[in-house]
Amino acid sequence: MPIHVDHDERRQKIVNAAVRVLGDAGFANFTLRAVSDRLGGSVTVVTHYFPSREALLTRMIEQTLEDARTVQTGLTAIEDPHDRLEAVVRYFLPIDDEAMAIERARVALVSHRNVEPAIEEYLTRMEPGMRNLIRTAIRDFISPYEMEATVDLIRLWTSGVVLSAIEHPELWTPERQTEALHHFMRLMEFPVTAA
């Protein structure tokens, strides 16, 4: 009897392994062999779905952007403006293992933005999406005149936590990130403006 393989599930496992390899080993060591080793199989398991590193990188980037759009849709639907803002800021933090892996991979890509066109496109698309999500989260709090400065402040704060957590994961545990988030939210507490 033939073995049934769920090809979508297999592709997803490969992409997940690729994110981990990129985040753990860096872009220079991001190879199809490294991904197959992470999966515990032959490199042909990867090349059956992704014939080149560039194809895998492209799919990994597409998947990250698709996942971000899905999560962002849910975040913008949160009705309470304070809850929405906290959920958005939390979303940017590497509070769990999956978020940490994604952020480590994203940081690994940054220094190679001029090497691979797909990386440049990804970073070019990701930042405006993140900033738009923050705008949506703070729209009930901020006047148009203060909007961009506040978006900058939130992006700088979240980026700082991400880099700190990557550099010192032993210090920036999920609990510490959550405590910092709550303190940041108290500092950023805004009255809701009349619509």
Residue 178 domain boundaries: 7-187
- Establish if 36 belongs to a structural domain: yes
pLDDT value, residue 77: 92
Cβ count near 97 (within 10 Å): 10
Question: What pTM, to 2 d.p., does this model score?
Answer: 0.85
CATH of the domain at 142: 1.10.357.10
The structural domain count of the chain equals 1
**What confidence tens digit (pLDDT) does each residue in 154-181 have?**
999 999 999 999 999 999 999 999 999 9
Q: In which region does residue 189 sit, left (phi positive, over 0), alpha (psi from -120 to 50) or beta (all else)?
A: beta
